[in-house]
Structures are given as structure tokens and as C-alpha cells.
Structure 1
Amino acid sequence: MSDALLNALAEALADVVISIDTCDDDVLDPDTAVKWLETTGSLLDRLPPADRRELARLFRRTARRRPEGARRDELLRIPDGFGLDDDQHELYCDAIEHIERRFVATVRDADPAAPVTTCPGWTFADLVRHHGTTHRWMEHLVRTRACERVRSREIPLDLPDDPAAFPDWLARGADSVLGMLRKVDPDTPMWSNGADQRVAYFPRRLLFEALVHLADAELSLGREPSVDPGTAADGIEEFLENLPYFSWLAEPVSRLANGSVVLTATDTGASWTAGFGERGFRWSKSATAAPSACVEGPAGDLLLLTYGRRSADDPRFTVTGDVSVLTSWLAATAF
């Protein structure tokens, strides 16, 4: 079956499901609507996991072809409504595919020699080379099921001589690592430089690596990054989970005086507390009663603040408490 036919069938099914789900009661009897949707769900339940993942991916592609708005949001909820989202590993891979395409398109239009304003001393060529190296490093680690650290400088890069060819090189690396991640069991044990010592660690890490560096490119071109609030919240937690394993962050954090910082997302309501000092680093998915400093703002902007791509005095944020503690924390955790 061709990709065109598969995409057409997925789009048709998605539109029928949304039409049934949102139809007025005086047009379609609610009991009949529920029966039709339950029958459809029962049929989809019989599909093998790989086919369910593929269908979820096709539904998301259908949604992303639509303009932003209520209809697009309803389409994006279909995989969850039918329970197609049981495989978090594949969800991360789908998200990476989308972000990497945006990344490649963004850097393709940029002068390789132009500065990256959020990474002092870097040009766009440096940014692309760095991210493309990450692709090849992760692909090598997962392919070989590495049981110990492998330095990125030990991996063949096949980097073109001409920086103008870097975007195509970047795209090839993204396709390669995604192909590898999608065919390996995420529960496979292996070495990682983070908390999760399984293959499952790598797509989640790569997603936020790509998101932050896409933001680097967009900000440097005078564009405003757009990060889904739920994805951003997961990114903040991924950062806090892995911080103790990233020596270049853990060491400066270990030298901080006693304090705590609370981040609160105004769009999702989620909060996180990071504590540090004599008791060592610790974090929780809640707001403590008396933190040293608090920052409130949209989840996407908090993620960029966490990675040092936004400053605490940005008007997007409301900061209360001891600003010096917050400043020290952000300086120590600059990624």
C-alpha cells in the first residue's frame, strides 16, 4: 500500500471520528455516536503494536497539515482517545522527526558564518556541526549497544568540507539516528550519560537537545521559539532528572550555598522545586512552602530559562524572593 493511500485513509478516518465526536445531539443520537466510536476503537485494538504506532503517527501528520486551531487540537487528541499512545518511545521519535525537520529548514536559510547569539563564540556552522555530531554519536551508541562511554570525537562524522552542505548532512544524521532508535527495543540495557541506562534514554534526550538548539537558531534569526507546554514541562523534568549525571552541571551546583528555586508554569499549573547546598542537589514535582526564589511563566519559556536561553529579568517571567539565589542557580546550570 502506498504512502499516499495510507495518508489519505488516515486523514479520512480522522475526519470521520472528529465529525462523529463533535456532532450536535439533534443531528446524531449520542448513544449511536458512542457505539460507532467504540466499534472503531475495538477494531483498532486488534492491530499489532507496530501498526498502532504507525496509525498514531499518521494521525499526527494529518493534524500537523492543518492550521493551528481547535480542529487541529482535536485531531492531535485522536491517538490518545483510541489508546494508541501506549508507546512513549515512539512518541518521542515522532516528536524528534518533526523538530529536526524544522531545525534543518531553519538552518538551511541561514548564513553558516552568522553568529548564534545564545551561544557566544558559535556560528551557525558550529551549531549545525554540534547537533549533527550528536546524531552520529547517539546512533553509534545505540547500534553497538555501548556498555561504556564512547567519546563523540571517536565517531566518524563524514562532515562535508563546505559549511553550505551542513544542513543536508544534518538531515541525513537525523534520519539515521531515528531509524536506529525506532528499530531497537527501548528497554534494552546499555550505557548512557544520564539517569536511564536503557535505549529509552536517547530519544528523550535527543528531543530536548534538538528543541533547545532549534531555539538557538530561531532566536539568532530574530524569531520567537514555539514550544508545546506539555513537551516543555517534560523537558524541565528531563533536565532535573539528568543534572546529577552531567558533571559539567553537577559540579558547579554542588558548590552553591543552601537555597531552593521553584519554577511554576502559568499555562499548565505544574511546579518544580530544585534544592541545593549542604544536603546536595534534589528536586521534586511540586512547589515547596518557603523557597529562596520563585519564577512563574509559560512552560516553554521556563524550559528556555532552565537552559540559559532566556534571562530571569525577561518580562515573560514573574520573579519573587531572593534574586541572587536564582541568579546563582541559573549561572551554575547554564547548559
Structure 2
Amino acid sequence: MTLQGSLTHEEYCAQLLAETGRLREIVRTADLSATVPTCPDWTLADLARHVGGAHRWVGAIVATRAAKSVDPADVPEGAGPEGEDAAALDAWLAAGVEQTVAALREAGPDTEVWSWTSEQNTGFWARRMTHETVVHRADAALTARVPFDVPAPVAADCLEEWLQIGELPMVAARFAERGAGLLGPGRTIHVHATDAPPGVDAEWLLDLTGEAPTHRRTHEKAAAALRGPLADVLQVLYRRLPADSDRVEVLGERALLDQWLTYASFG
């Protein structure tokens, strides 16, 4: 399948800068020693280093037109500053994302580079880094106890990419054991963002009735349904917000949704 996004290459580049800017606001003001509830092996400082390291790694792939994966240890300043110096982390995040976006803009979306999917181009990385940053900003917002929101077109595309990734053969094979019993007759899940503005398609049907998971954008009755604001639905499907939160509504076969969330825990 094609990992097709709904934003332009330049829109992804601009959103990557914007999302990193929002993450940096949290880094500058929050307790960097705090444990990230959704990534409990990390402190907030560790989370910032993870995101900034990913940016610089992708920047190295794009800038060098890499035909194979780059060892993160070979990326200049890829590990980031040690400790919990907010100013140092902030400056490092800013410099790294600016370098990466400059490389992405210079390359355009169609330059051939390595990726871990069949999409061997720079456009894949612009989209992937945008949504990687969105989801980890949600982690940071939860840690700092500040609101999380995201522009509707970006959130909808983030969810669409997540569902596309879940259908990749390499992902399905990796999580086949975890998904035992997931597929079968009548097993469908409707995902409905209730606050999507006009022009933003934010309804999906997860079809688990065949030999592998598939999805399509549609309003269709299903065995289970997840409804709520787009940012909250995004967080539930990425397992950043529990499905029993009062911010969303689950209808029908709750066990089926729980089984899907267990299967698709790669986000």
C-alpha cells in the first residue's frame, strides 16, 4: 500500500517546525525530571532528547541521500545535551529541527532516500517526523499537565498515517501473535471525530473481517464505535488516553476496541 498523506510537503515542513515549537514551550517551563506517564522509562528530558535525536537522524538521512539506514551514533550531536538544562535542550531542539526542515525543503518530497517502509523518499520522512512530534508532544503535555490540541487537518492525517502503518505487511507480521483472534466475521470498528470542521474527513471504519486489517474513510455502522473530539480520539488510538476516559464515548463491543488497541500498540 501507499503511505499517502493529505498535506503538501511544505505544509509538513511548516507543521514540523510548529509542533517542535510547541514541544519546546513545554521543555522551557516544565519539570524536566518528571516521569512521562505514557513512556514511564523516560523523564521529560529523555523524551525531548528522543524527539530531537529522531529529527537529527532523519536530517542526516535526507541531507546525505542515504541509501541505507544511518547509525544514530554517527549523527553529529544526535544524543543531545545531558542532564536537565532547559535552555540547552531548547536550543538543541531548535537547531536540530531547523537543520532537518532545511534539508527536507531543499530535497523536496520525491528525492530517493532510505526508509523502513516501501516509501523510499523524503516525503515519507517529512510526514513521519511531523506526526512523531505530534504524538510525543501529547506525551509532554500529559506530563506537564497542560492542554493538548492540534490543528484538525494535522490530527486527521496523523490518524490516517497510523492506520496505514498498521496495515503494512512488516507491521502485521511483527504483531501477528499479539493480534491472535483479532480478525473474524463482523469485527469492525467505527472511529468518529465529532468536532472535525468542514473539509476535514475524520471518520474511519477499521475492517477486521478479512485476512489482515484494512481501513477506509466512511460513516458506517460497526460492531464497536469510538467517538469524541479529534485530539482525544487521536490520543486514544495512540494509547495516550485511556478508552474509558470521559472525554470519549465507546459504543458496542468494547472488548473489540480493547483488542485492537492491544494489537496496535506500536504508535
Distance 1:320 1:158, change over 3 A: closer
Q: Report the equivalent of 2:213.
A: 281
2:59 to 128, 139, 142: 139
Q: Is the CA contact 2:59–2:103 (under 8 Å) kept in the aligned structure 1?
A: yes
Within 1, Cα distance between the matches of 2:248 and 2:82? 43
SS class of match (2:40): coil
Contact 1:273 1:285 in 2 (8 A): yes
Which position in structure 2 is the counterpart of 1:297? 228
The structural deviation recorded for 1:160 is 2.2
- Measured after TM superposition, the shift of residue 236 of structure 1 is 0.7
TM-score normalised by L of structure 1: 0.68
* TM-score between both structures, scaled by the size of structure 2: 0.85
Ranges in structure 2 where 5+ consecutive residues have no aligned partner: 1-5
Q: Is residue 2:82 matched to residue 1:161?
A: yes
2:44 alignment partner, one of 124, 139, 145: 124
Which residue of structure 2 aligns with residue 34 of structure 1?
none
Which residue matches 2:249? 318
After TM superposition, the structure 1 = structure 2 runs for residues 321-332 of structure 1, keeping only pairs within 5 Å, are: 321-332=252-263
AA of the residue aligned to 1:272: W
* Structure 1 position 263 matched with structure 2 position 194: no
Alignment of 1:78-117 (within 5 A): 88-117=8-37
The CA deviation at 1:99 is 1.4
- Structure 1 residue 189: Cα displacement: 2.1
Aligned partners of 1:270, 1:159: CA distance in 2, in Å?
Answer: 36
Kindly state the Cα deviation for residue 94 of structure 1 after the two structures are TM-superposed.
1.1
Equivalent residue, structure 1, for 2:3: none
C-alpha distance in 2 between matches for 1:203 and 1:322: 36
Query: What is the CA-CA distance between 1:277 and the residue it aligns to?
Result: 6.4
Richer in helix (by share): 1
Instruction: State the one-letter code of the partner of 1:233.
Output: A
Distance 1:246 1:152 in 2: 25
* Residues in 1 aligned to 2:165 and 2:174: alpha-carbon distance in whole angstroms: 13
Q: How far, CA to CA, are the matches of 2:92 and 2:23 in structure 1?
A: 12
- Partners of 2:84 and 2:172 lie apart in 1 by 31
Task: Read off the aligned partner of 1:229 and give its amino acid letter.
Answer: A
Shift of 1:129: 1.1
Q: 1:288 to 1:146 in 2, by over 3 A?
A: farther
Relative to structure 1, the CA distance from residue 167 to residue 256 in structure 2 (aligned partners, 3 Å threshold; closer, same or farther) is: farther
The structural deviation recorded for 1:174 is 1.0
Q: What is the alpha-carbon distance in structure 2 between the residues aligned to residue 250 and residue 236 of structure 1?
A: 21
Partner of 1:178: 101
The match for 1:235 is 158
For 2:42, the aligned partner's letter is W
Question: Residue by residue, what CA displacement relative to the aligned partner does 1:62-102 show, whole Å, maximum 9, x if unpaired?
Answer: xxxxxxxxxxxxxxxxxxxxxxxx98111111111111111
Letter of the structure 2 residue corresponding to residue 142 of structure 1: V
* Amino acid aligned to 1:292: A
Contact residue 237 and residue 261 of structure 2 kept, 8 A: yes
Q: Counterparts in 2 of 1:182-221, with a 5 A limit?
A: 182-221=105-144
* Distance in structure 2 (CA, Å) of the matches to 1:270 and 1:101: 25
CA-atom RMSD in angstroms? 2.3
Whether the 8 Å contact between 1:272 and 1:284 is mirrored in structure 2 is yes
CA contact (8 A) 1:243 1:250 kept: no
d(CA) in 1 for partners of 2:167 and 2:230? 22
Indicate conservation of the 8 Å contact 1:115/1:121, yes or no: yes
Instruction: Determine the C-alpha separation between the residues in 1 that align with 2:205 and 2:225.
Output: 9
Which structure has the greater CA radius of gyration?
A: 1
Deviation at 1:158?
5.3
In the alignment, the residues of structure 2 paired with residue 320 and residue 158 of structure 1 have an alpha-carbon distance, to the nearest angstrom, of: 44
CA distance in 2, matches of 1:113, 1:262: 39
